Amino acid sequence: MSLLQMGERAPDFALRDVKGKTFSLNADASALTLLLFFKTTCPTCHYAWKFYERLHNAYKDSGLRILGISQHDAARTLSYRGQHGATFPHLLDDEFSVSRAYDPAFVPTGFLIDRQGKIVETFESWNSKRLNEFSERVARTLGVSAQPIVMPQDNAVENKIG
């Protein structure tokens, strides 16, 4: 298998989060859903997570739902979530069923999915410029003002491979 492409239908799934609540892709009326595949041991994921939390906070009330898809168990994922102060749901894919369906080559990998269940964008690893451009596209789609996610005072690295 290879990374799912833009325009393809996103595979539905049902996974539990670290608190035991079940989430599925198509059970929410959000305009956009961003699936973020990650590992708790991935240095690039650790680096990027505060920025994904900013993205979540910028658009959570405007129609963007972010779901972290962890490839580790509940204890490690809960610790990771707490370490990063993340507030969006972190789902457990410790048996890799959803990871196999989406087949990300690297972590972090993101899949942006529209209300109709189509993949509208994908990204792999970390790129600070790309994340701000992504924020602008999300804002346009949602019909809201764009919010900068990576700011000059962050002194963020431009690229970091996962």
Statement: residue 2 has pLDDT above 70: no
Residue 7 within a domain: no
CATH of the domain at 119: 3.40.30.10
Burial of 34 (0-12, 13-18, 19+ CB in 10 A): buried
Domain that holds residue 83: 14-160
Residues 16-57 have pLDDT tens digits of: 999 999 999 876 778 999 999 999 999 999 999 999 999 999
Q: What is the total count of domains within the chain?
A: 1
On the CB side of 65, CA atoms within 13 Å amount to 19
Residue 8 within a domain: no
Q: In 3-state terms, what secondary structure has residue 38?
A: strand
Residues 49-68 have pLDDT tens digits of: 999 999 999 999 999 999 99
Residue 42 within a domain: yes
The per-residue pLDDT for 26 is 78
Mean pLDDT, rounded, for 92-105: 94
What tokens appear for 58 in the block?
Answer: 């910028």
Residue 5 within a domain: no
Residue 27 within a domain: yes
